[in-house]
Each structure stands twice: as structure tokens, then as C-alpha cells.
Chains A and B, each alone.
Chain A
């Protein structure tokens, strides 16, 4: 702690400056949507490099942004500072666990850096597109479904519905649907993000409130039905959704804020970075959520709903919340897909899609954020590989045979998933030892 560069305020300032530097690099004259990495890859001699930035007055704006970011961040932390307390004494974690935490964080940082550099090493356009459309978007979806299935323990077979809501909401507010947008204003998809997320969450609440009183299999059937309803709506409401043809006029993302100007074009790489940024945000938000009141309440409900309720936890409220939060990330994935491909049509939003996402979560390890991310990356990469370089005799419809086999092998050798969460692993261990009481009937005298 004595080293000045490790002091929290210094770390915060450095992070703020580097985040804004990265933003400036890809948004100004040095970078452009044709060459998003020009600011980094250009030589020093040319003015397109990072150092070219200081030759223009833009650097002062950049500094202001960085300081604003630093200020907001510090203020956020400052309120509620007196929170070092006796708890830290009792909860002082054994050294090896604390070290494991550090290792996890370092691993996460390394992964983000690798992910950020990846487009430099992947030049095949097929893979560049796949990285956005088939991997990054699926990571978002898996993260969202993990909240529902993993954290709250609710089997949702209609998760695709929220993805569809997000995509159609984007088409709607950008004016691409037959249904005119509110007040006739055609928004840029960037501003569709909050609207799509809000609408997806609303759909989650609307679906959840009446159905989450059901348990297990019944819930799965109802959500499955909900997915089909959304599909049928999208397919048949010609005057609103454009019917089975969908719509193909969704504009690309663009952003204009003082010196920050950027238009996401046809190239997949800028979309990749945008999605990556949101994946990081969702991962952080969901990790905090897992270890918050809400995450603990979910665990409590999952393990023993009767006991949880006796402590004053309203199971319905928390389940609806899980639905809404999961829906938010699916809604965002819908925005990215709609804006990147410029079109939506209902053929994507099928039961297969929901099951595919569920497979990612189960494969990665239910209830584990890193598991959901890794599961999505591994499975989607495998399926993309099979499409890109099919082995002899491989037919496109064979994909699910391969995935099914993979899943079976997985369930035999690692039933809790690739990277199971600590809590889930304990639960499975206890259930195997016959100690769990997950769905036990109320104890006590038989009536």
C-alpha cells in the first residue's frame, strides 16, 4: 500500500484517462469506421497515431472527459465511505481465498485484453462476423439466461422472446417497422438501447407476474409457450412487425458527442468492440448482483423456498426480478443484432434458439458468470467451426448431433459444468450426499 501507484485514487485516475484515450482514439480523425484501429496501428511519423491527437485541440476535450469520469467515479465511491467496519474483521478471508480472488481478477483482465486484441489476429471475414453475431451476442444471451436459470433457478424455455423484443424494439424506434415510432421521431439505434432494454424488462415482468407462481416443469411449459407467442406475433402481425419478411432498414449505430463522433458501419470489428464493452459491463454488474442482497435472496429461494419466505423474502418478487434482469441483457443483444445486420425477421426467434442458449449455460456451469461466458465461447466456436470447415460428410443439420454428444459427455464427467459456481457446486455435492432438501415437502407432522 505504500507504493504511490497502487493507491486507489491514482489507479482510478489512470483508468479514467486510459478509457477516455481509448474512446478518443477510435472516434476522432485518427480512427474511422473504415480503420478503427488506425490510431493504434499507424506509425508515429504519421499524424494518425495516438500522438497525433496532441497536435490538435481535441486533446483538451479528451482531458475534460477523463476528469469528469474520474470525478463521477470518485464521488460514487466517496458517498458511503465509512463502510470499513467490524465486518471486515470477522469476514477477513483466509489468505488462500483472498489470493484466489486476485487470481480471478487477473485472469479476467488478461481475458479482456486478449479479447480486445483478437480482431488483430483474425483476418478471415467469416470469423470476424462470427465473432460478433455468433459469439459476442451469444455471450450476452448466456449471461442473461444465467441470471434466470443459474441464479434464480427458473427454467425458462422461451428466452428468445426477450431477444426478439429487443430486436423489434430497435426496428420500431428507428422507424424501420410498418408501425411508426412514437412521435414520428426516428432514433439512432444507440438510443434504442435503453428503450429496448426497458421493453424487454417490461415483457419479463408481464410474463413473470402471472406465471412465476408455477414450479419447475410447469414454468418451463409456459415460458416455452410465451416464446412461441412472440414468434407468432412477429410472423403474423404484418401491419406492425412486417410479417415473415421482417424489415431490412435498421440503421447502424452512430454517436455524436462533442469531439466524440463515430458511425458503426458494415465492418464487424467496431461492433465487436461495442459488444465487448457491454459484455464487460454486464459481467461486472451481474457479479455485483450475485453478491448483493438480491443474489443471496435468489440462492435462498433456490435452496429452500419455504425457509426463505419465513424470513420475509417474497419469492415472487425476486423471481420476477430475475426474469426482468435476464431479459435486459437479451434485449440488449437484440439491439446489437438488429443494428449490425440491419434487419430482423421472425425466422430466428424459434424454440431451437432458446434451447441453444440454455445449452451454453448448462455447459458452462449454471449460476457461474465465467461459466456462461466460457460456455458460449466454446460451444459457439465449435458450431461456427463446423459451419466454416465442415468435416467430410457433415451436413448443416448435423450440428445438434454434435452438440448433443458434447453435452452428454459433459454431463457424465462434469455434471456441474465447465466452470461451476462455488454455491452451485456445494449444492450438487450436498444433493449427492443426500443432504439437500431442495424440493422437500413441508416437514413436520403429517396432517
Chain B
């Protein structure tokens, strides 16, 4: 697998008992692109995300991840925290912040999660611990500025608006220093203004930070304006892929979304 591919998913099947959640899914993600996965409810989009991040372990197929230094590793068989260490960050569909902590603390947890731990150092607040805290603080502040939450640094995260929660989750994911960021419906529950700002932010993440983006989204307007390539899932299978223009005119996609059969039968 060449280094300009980040994810290479080959024939992945994921089952829960008798229910097939992902059926023979293959997908490639290039470094530096904004890729979207769309599909109706229950199509298996979040299952795909969970498989890519090590939360679910598919029974069949391969998920290969390039670590950015010329090496390729398998995601299947690795735990979620190991996958995170290899540069995969994500956000969740329903925001999952640490709601009793402040914005700052939330992001800091991401910034320090891959650092070494010394119990004694932490209990005595030794020089190394303090230097580590300092580095994480600096990184956190950078990210607060980047996503525009600096003035809400000391706010308890559960009192943030939906839009700000998304920003927080993005910043928290970026804090782990990823090569790819997986966004699970980032625009859900946001108002039109927030949606616009979020689109800009996501593009900025890719352009400024050089982090590749993989996103699931229902909002077609957002997806079509943001994504460079799309995959369409339906009932756990990939039914189409291509640029936004190609997808827009794809019959299978239209059928999956509108449930109309006349167009295909007419052929």
C-alpha cells in the first residue's frame, strides 16, 4: 500500500449475530483529501467508522492504515486507543464531550493522551510532569484559537451550544496529533450559520493542519460543497462512489434516497 493512501479497506464484512451491518465494503482514502460517506439511516455509516477506529472488529476483510512513515498496519485486531496512537482521531454523532470538565480540560485530555505517564511524578508534581503540563497547555491554547473557542476555555463543556460542542470535539481530536480526522455527522443539530462556519473550519483543518478528513453527513448541501469524493452506502454495501457531480446523477443513489424504482426500471 502506497503512502498516499491513508485507509485501504478491502472486502470488510461486519456482523452482529445474524445481522449484517457491513457487507463486503471496500474503500480507499487518499492522503490530504476530504472524503465523505453518505447513505440513508441504518446504512452502516457509523459501523464503518467504528470499524475504522478499532471500536468494532469486523469478521472478514482487511482495514489497512498507513502510519505516515512508510509503514502499513492493520486496524483490525487493534484496540481503539492503539488506533488513536497511529493517528486516527474521531468525533461522535451525538457529541460525547466529558461534560463535567471545562472546554480547556477536554482538549487538554486529547493533547496529553499519547505522552508518557509517571505516577510518582504526577503525585509530587516533578519537573518532567510540569514540563508536560506546560506543553499540553500550550497545545491546547493553540487549538482553542484554531477552532475559535478561546473565550470559552473555562466554560463547562455541557453548557456549550451545539455548534461549539462540535468545535470542541474537533479540537479535542486534533489535539492527539492525527493524520486523519473522522467526523460523524458534524452538522447535526446546528443552525445554518453554525453549519457555514463548521464547513469553513473543516476545510481549514485540512488546508492549514494538513489533516485528511473523512466525514459522514446527512446534510447534502454541506457534503456536496465540502467533499471531494464520496462513497454511498446502502444496507451495508457500497452502491456508488465518485465526485459530487457523479453521485448527484447516479441512479442507484437516487433510488436509495428517494425509494423510487421507476427510473431504474425504465432503462
Kindly specify which of B95-103, B194-202, B238-246 makes contact with the partner chain. B95-103
A94 to B154, CA, bound (A): 10
Q: Known interface pairs A93-B154, A285-B123, A444-B184. Does A296 touch B45 (Cβ–Cβ under 8 Å)?
A: no
Q: Identify which of A85, A94, A285, A292 contacts B129 (C-beta below 8 A).
A: A292
Q: Could you give, for residues 35-74 of chain B, a 1 whenever the CB lies within 8 Å of some chain A CB and a 0 otherwise?
A: 0000001111111011001010000000000000000000
**How far is B136's CA from A294's CA once the two chains are assembled, in angstroms?**
13
Given contacts A300-B109, A312-B81, A443-B46, contact A87 B134 (CB under 8 A): yes
Query: Are B99 and A435 closer than 8 Å at their CB atoms?
Result: yes
Q: If A76-B126, A303-B100, A311-B176 touch, does A90 touch B113 (CB 8 Å cutoff)? A: no
Which residues from A are CB-within-8-Å of B114? 312
Q: Is the CB of B47 within 8 A of A293?
A: no
Q: Which residues of B contact A303 (CB under 8 A)?
A: 98-101
Binding stretch for chain B, among A179-187, A355-363, A380-388, A422-430: A422-430
Q: Is B30 an interface residue (CB 8 A)?
A: no
Contact A79 to B125, CB < 8 A, known contacts A294-B117, A296-B109, A435-B99? no
Interface residues on B, range: 35 or more
A41 beta carbon closer than 8 Å to chain B: no
Q: Determine whether the beta carbon of B46 is less than 8 Å from that of A80.
A: no
Interface string of A274-309 (1 = CB under 8 A from B): 000000000001101100111111011001101111
Q: Please determine whether A312 and B176 come into contact, CB atoms closer than 8 angstroms.
A: yes
Say yes or no: A83 contacts B130, CB within 8 Å. Answer: yes
Q: Please determine whether A447 and B19 come into contact, CB atoms closer than 8 angstroms.
A: yes
Which of A295, A300, A314 is within 8 Å of B98, CB to CB?
A300
A231 to B148, CA, bound (A): 57
Determine whether the beta carbon of B127 is less than 8 Å from that of A310.
no
Q: Write the nearest CB–CB distance from A143 to chain B, whole angstroms.
A: 12
Q: Are B100 and A447 in contact (CB under 8 A)?
A: no
**Are B81 and A314 in touch, CB under 8 angstroms?**
yes
Tell me if B6 is interfacial: C-beta within 8 Å of chain A. Answer: no
B128 contact set on A, CB distance < 8 A: 80
Whether A447 lies near B130 (C-beta < 8 A) is no
Asked if B153 and A90 make an inter-chain contact with CB atoms under 8 angstroms apart, the answer reads yes
Q: Which residues of B contact A87 (CB under 8 A)?
A: 134, 137-138, 140-141
Provide the residues of chain B in CB contact with A243, threshold 8 Å. none
User: Is A20 at the interface (CB under 8 A from chain B)?
Assistant: no
Pair A91/B80 contact, Cβ less than 8 Å: no
On whether the beta carbons of B55 and A442 are closer than 8 Å, the reply is: yes
Bound Cα distance A445, B123 (Å): 42
Q: Is B112 an interface residue (CB 8 A)?
A: yes
B131 located at the interface, meaning its Cβ lies under 8 Å from any Cβ of chain A in the complex: yes
B133 within 8 A of A: yes
The interface residues of chain B lying within 8 Å CB-to-CB of A76 are 124, 126-127
Residues of B within 8 A of A310 (CB): 53, 55, 80-81, 84, 89-90, 92, 173
Tell me the bound Cα distance from A94 to B18 in angstroms: 56
Which B residues contact A (CB, under 8 angstroms)? Answer: 14, 16, 19, 21, 41-47, 49-50, 53, 55, 79-81, 84-85, 89-90, 92-94, 96-101, 104-105, 108-110, 112-115, 117, 119, 122-134, 136-138, 140-141, 144, 150, 153-154, 156, 158, 172-173, 175-176, 184
15 A-B pairs with CB atoms under 8 Å apart are A76-B126, A85-B137, A87-B138, A87-B141, A286-B123, A289-B122, A293-B129, A293-B136, A299-B101, A309-B80, A312-B110, A423-B100, A423-B101, A442-B55, A444-B50
In the complex, besides A292-B129, A296-B109, A445-B41, 16 extra interface pairs with C-beta distance below 8 angstroms are: A87-B140, A288-B124, A288-B125, A289-B122, A292-B125, A292-B133, A293-B115, A296-B108, A306-B55, A306-B80, A311-B89, A312-B114, A324-B119, A437-B94, A445-B42, A447-B19
